[in-house]
A = this chain, B = another copy of it.
Amino acid sequence: MKYVGIDLGGTNIAVGIVDENGTILHQSSSPTLAKNGSKDVIHRIADAVLKLLEETNTPQSDIASVGIGCPGAIDKSTGTILSACNLAFENVPIVTELKELLKLPVYIENDANCAALAEATVGAAAHSQSCVMITLGTGIGGAIIINDKIYDGFNGLCGEFGHMTICADGELCSCGRRGCLETYASATALARDACRTAKKMPSSLLWSFRERDGSFSARTVFEAAKHGDATAQNVLDQYINYLSIGLRNIIKILQPETIVIGGGVSNAGDDLIIPLSETVLNTTYGDYVSAHKKTRIVAAKYKNSAGIIGAALLGKEIST
């Protein structure tokens, strides 16, 4: 059987036909145009699916189910998007409407959970008994997968790793509290710390690597550190130290077999994963724990396609 995955974003609707192994066979993308209202968006989603099936000569009878990954707050029991700020959707019964238009089973899930499901089942954490995905971007998001199933708590709100306090009375967070992991370990925090530190070291490579508008990015810090700049290395060491506190807390609580690092910062690959992994494991486990019983830390396999793959696999997750 094949599965359809839909990644509903604020800018684009991405649709894919995915096989049992999570491989995208065909895909398309079209603008979301959320300002036209939810009815219109839902009709264009259905049109995009039917068009992709037709263009690729995929009979509808080959499709086991359709999954949709959505931003915002979702009620899975009713298939409703309760509230999605970047779509301006409120109480949209998207599952019922798509079912009518497509005449196929339709499943819905939060987009972060979809990405994690893709990584846990066919991505960087395939074959892990349990997996935590943490996304280091503007903020910090996350999701938990246990035995290839999404675990999202009794109320669907779990995996909010970004708002775990790691420093009582620390940096002020956008949530109004202090010391959240997000304020130390997001891409935004890394860029902020680079700016703060480089300003005081105008002779550093890091300072000279700033963007034309004077801003910094996570990438800048990794690049300057790679060129041997001590200022950048200090910023990076401090960043990895804070991030490792967050990961250690997750491990102490959950002991997932694998932690998958996603989001913009994860583009640094081994330059992030190797020192991070070393710091986390050295400070989490005693010598008596053998290597194969320690959580593995890896970079995400999929970038933009994780949403489609995870959404497609929702039907497989639920039917097995």
In this assembly, does A130 line the interface, its C-beta being within 8 Å of a C-beta of chain B?
Answer: yes
Q: Which chain B positions have C-beta within 8 A of A294?
A: 155
**Cα–Cα distance between A165 and B254 once the two chains are bound (Å):** 14
Chain A stretch 92-143: residues in CB contact (< 8 A) with chain B: 128-130
The residues of B that contact A156 with a CB separation of less than 8 Å are 255
Chain A residues numbered 231-260 whose CB sits less than 8 Å from any CB in chain B: 242, 245, 248-250, 252-257
Q: Establish whether residues B168 and A166, one from each chain, have CB atoms under 8 Å apart when the complex forms.
A: yes
Contact partner of A157 among B144, B159, B293, CB < 8 A?
B293
Q: Tell me whether A249 and B155 are in contact in the complex, defined as CB-CB below 8 angstroms, given that A177-B283, A283-B177 are known contacts.
A: no
Residues facing B in A51-69 (CB within 8 A) are none
In contact, A253 and B158 (Cβ under 8 angstroms): yes
- A289 and B153 form a contact (CB under 8 A): no
The residue that A254 contacts in the complex, of B163, B248, B253, B289, with Cβ under 8 A, is B253
Report A149 CB to chain B, min CB distance, Å.
11
The one of B151, B253, B256, B289 that contacts A161, using a Cβ cutoff of 8 Å: B253
The answer on a CB contact under 8 Å between B245 and A165 is yes
Q: How far is the CA of A289 from the CA of B158 in the complex (A)?
A: 13
Given the known inter-chain contacts A166-B168, A242-B168, please indicate yes or no for A256 contacting B153, CB distance below 8 A. Answer: yes
Size category of the A interface is: 35 or more
User: Are B252 and A160 interface neighbours, CB within 8 A?
Assistant: yes
Q: B254 to A158, Cβ gap below 8 A?
A: yes
The reply to whether B255 and A253 form a contact with Cβ atoms under 8 Å apart is: no
Nearest CB of chain B from residue A292's CB, rounded to whole Å: 9
Docked pose: A288 CA to B91 CA in angstroms: 14
A257 to B152, CA, bound (A): 11
Which residue of chain B lies nearest to A162 when distances are taken between CB atoms in the complex? B252
In angstroms, Cα B179 to Cα A272, docked, is 25
Copies of the polypeptide in the assembly: 2
Which of B164, B170, B255 is A249 in contact with, Cβ under 8 Å? B164
B contact residues around A165 at 8 Å (CB) = 166, 245, 248-249
Q: Which B residues are in CB contact (< 8 Å) with A129?
A: 154
Query: Which residues on B sit within 8 Å (CB–CB) of A167?
Result: 166-169, 179
Given A177-B283, A253-B250: A146 and B157 interface contact (C-beta under 8 Å):
no
Nearest neighbor of A257 in chain B, beta-carbon distance: B154
Report yes or no: A293 in contact with B155, Cβ–Cβ below 8 A. yes
Chain A 166-204 against B: per-residue CB contact (8 Å), 1 yes, 0 no? 111110000001010000000000000000000000000
Q: Give the chain B neighbours of A130 by CB distance below 8 A.
A: 153-154
Give the docked Cα–Cα distance between A153 and B164 (Å).
20
A153 touches B255 (CB 8 A): yes
Contact yes or no, A245 B154, CB < 8 A: no
Instruction: Report the minimal beta-carbon distance from A247 to chain B, rounded to whole angstroms.
Output: 11
**Can you list 24 contacts pairing A with B, beta carbon distance less than 8 Å?**
A144-B253, A146-B146, A146-B151, A152-B255, A153-B254, A153-B256, A154-B255, A154-B293, A154-B295, A155-B257, A155-B289, A155-B294, A156-B255, A158-B252, A158-B255, A160-B253, A161-B253, A163-B252, A165-B166, A166-B168, A167-B168, A168-B170, A249-B249, A253-B254
